[in-house]
Structure 1
Amino acid sequence: MQDLGVAQVQACLEATGPYGEALSEWLFDAGHIVSVLNPAQVKDFAKSLLTRNKTDTVDAAVLARFGVAMSPPAWRPPPPAVRLLRALVRRLAALQQTRQQEHNRLMVADAGVQDSIQRHLAYLDQEIAALRQRIEDHIDQDPDLPQKQQLLETIPGIGTVVSHTLLSFISRIETFDRARQLAAFAGLTPKRHESGSSVRSKTRLSKIGHADLRKLLYFPAMSAIRYNPLLKAFAERLRHSGKPPKLILAAAMRKLLHIAFGVLKSNQPFNPNILAKTA
């Protein structure tokens, strides 16, 4: 930027996962103002400009015009400890996915390559174990994360693995004023489509939020419906009112995130008697 005679810029870029986060952090560390934009919002803005082509040059121009017209808020990266935790958690998930793929290959592999796959599986198991230990050590060495992990794990349905991943996304709970903001961050708020008195489409998840966080909550919500007293009663009421299973599960994911918000925000362990009114 300094080569162009500009000391500081406001950079607008779409949230695109790890690659976008790395660029955002580099720009922030270099002293620039960064605005991380929801791709859906930028897409709708481009439509309003009647943009006919989609090239890198056109996309860059759309982002620039969005920044001027909408004045998006400045983004701040998570603290270094949370950045590293998120990187470790993502790496662990990638290795676990690779291991599952190799395990599936082993089931149908020719005898001549089974030894190779088994050696790779043994290596992956070693790396996965080492990463899990590194994540635990990293959390233990932080002044705030261990207590937050303990609070999260008081919630039935949230175990060690889930608490690690949740901490990498929502440990800065102070950035959210309300539980609904956190649910929106995960794309778990309902999306209604109504027009006049005749158009009444089914309510669906907005999914305008962090897909990784939604994916994380899927199986814990299924477990919480069975073992968490609040979620169990909550799901039962929805069933009696005729709600379909997918809607119940989505609502349970949202409610579980609301409970996590309450526990972290209040700095108090899970208490079904206190939270019963919100179920």
Structure 2
Amino acid sequence: MNKVSHEQIIGIDVSRDWLDVHCLPETRRLRLPNSDEGHAQLVCLAQSTHALVCFEATGGQEWRLWTALDAAGIATRQLPPAQIKAFAASRGTRAKTDRIDAELIARFMAFRPDAGRELPHGKLRLLRALASKRAQLVETRKRLLAQIRAHEKLGTDGIFTEVDAELRELLDRQIGTLEDQIAQTIAADQGLAKTADILRSVPGIGPVASTILIAEMPELGQLSGEQAAALTGLAPIAHDSDAMRGKRAIGGGRRQVRHVMFQAALVASHHNPHLKIFADRLRDAGKPHKVIITAVARKLVTIANALLKSRQNWSAQTA
């Protein structure tokens, strides 16, 4: 993580058409178009003041800007929206406009200069885009299958059978194509291929989970076990005060990674010899199913982190 001090922090609220900009420490505000012209103006502004530029993850609206800034050698950070929201609540800020959001982003960065993610390299960006599109199509297929079951229960005399079959075939084909592209992208890079091989050696972590871990957690293998669990949002958060002991809960972190690790944990709790013993012990102790799966998912992440740190494949003896 780049820890060089910067003369200026530029917070940006990114929307489809506009970039609302807030500059610290002089509290300068401006609005630029979210276009090549606006990106060029922002590059000039950031270069003239040795600025650190930061913005929220917006689901893709920020990627073109991020790439332009990175190509110009400007330090950039992508910040989790949940952290900005919590920071706003801590300041008592309830109003919400693009200008206010830009200021909050800048002030959060000043408060937490180590926060956020730097731009991943090109192959990771491609892998992230492919994995995201695959997940979108899988969710669409899931909804289609639910509709097919509903049609069967309603007894619609098969009037949608042909349409549903064509849609399902199309989705299956597109998902298969994306999975081939993901496999080819990983195989074409020796480092990514080795990382994928290590991750998939762990019973429970399959192609989908390993791809998401590679694309969404490139820091894995460079963290402590506690940091890896926290980054995934699987670390228990205490809610204690004085003599009161509140219920622990998980939260924050990278939602897509957490979701896929829950799926991996379901498999690992039955088929990973090390984690099956762990899960059975929790079941025997009367722990709820969700608690067990969360604990197994946390173990999986810490195991994956340790294996990537040592660059060794999993074995039951070293787990």
Q: Counterpart of 2:229? A: 183
Q: Is the 8 A contact 2:88 2:94 kept in 1?
A: no
Q: Which runs of 5+ in 1 are unaligned?
A: none
Q: How many residues align?
A: 272
**Which letter maps to 1:35?**
R
Deviates more, 1:211-220 or 1:109-118: 109-118
Check if 1:246 corresponds to 2:285.
no
Q: Is the 8 A contact 2:55 2:77 kept in 1?
A: yes
Give the deviation of 1:72 after TM superposition: 4.2
Q: Counterpart of 1:138? A: 185
How far apart, CA to CA, are the structure 2 residues paired with 1:165 and 1:68?
A: 30
**Which letter maps to 2:193?**
P
How far apart, CA to CA, are the structure 2 residues paired with 1:102 and 1:65?
A: 44
How far apart, CA to CA, are the structure 1 residues paired with 2:94 and 2:115?
A: 28
Q: Is the 8 A contact 2:231 2:254 kept in 1?
A: yes
Per-residue deviation, residues 84-133 of structure 1 (Å, max 9, x unmatched): 11111111111111122222223334443332222222221221121111
Q: Counterpart of 1:62? A: 104
Check if 1:128 corresponds to 2:172.
no
Check if 1:204 corresponds to 2:246.
no
Shift of the 7–227 alpha-carbon distance from structure 1 to 2, 3 Å rule, reads closer
Shift of the 231–67 alpha-carbon distance from structure 1 to 2, 3 Å rule, reads same
Q: Counterpart of 2:75? A: 33
Check if 1:162 corresponds to 2:209.
yes
Give the deviation of 1:260 after TM superposition: 1.0
Alignment of 1:1-279 (within 5 A): 3=41, 6-8=45-47, 9-20=51-62, 23-73=65-115, 75-109=117-151, 110=156, 111-174=158-221, 176-197=222-243, 199-205=244-250, 207-275=251-319
**Which letter maps to 1:204?**
A
**Which letter maps to 1:186?**
T
Q: Is the 8 A contact 1:78 1:172 kept in 2?
A: no
Q: Is the 8 A contact 1:169 1:213 kept in 2?
A: yes
CA root-mean-square deviation: 2.3
Give the deviation of 1:226 after TM superposition: 1.1
Per-residue deviation, residues 18-37 of structure 1 (Å, max 9, x unmatched): 44455434432343221222
Per-residue deviation, residues 215-254 of structure 1 (Å, max 9, x unmatched): 1011210111111121112223323444322111111000
Identical aligned pairs, as a percentage?
35
Larger % of helix: which? 1
How far apart, CA to CA, are the structure 1 residues paired with 2:284 and 2:165?
A: 49
3-state SS in 2 of match to 1:271: coil
Shift of the 67–218 alpha-carbon distance from structure 1 to 2, 3 Å rule, reads closer
Question: How high is the TM-score relative to the length of structure 1?
Answer: 0.87
Shift of the 40–114 alpha-carbon distance from structure 1 to 2, 3 Å rule, reads same
How far apart, CA to CA, are the structure 1 residues paired with 2:265 and 2:173?
A: 29
How far apart, CA to CA, are the structure 2 residues paired with 1:56 and 1:171?
A: 30
Question: How high is the TM-score relative to the length of structure 2?
Answer: 0.77
Q: Which runs of 5+ in 2 are unaligned?
A: 1-38
Give the deviation of 1:156 after TM superposition: 0.9
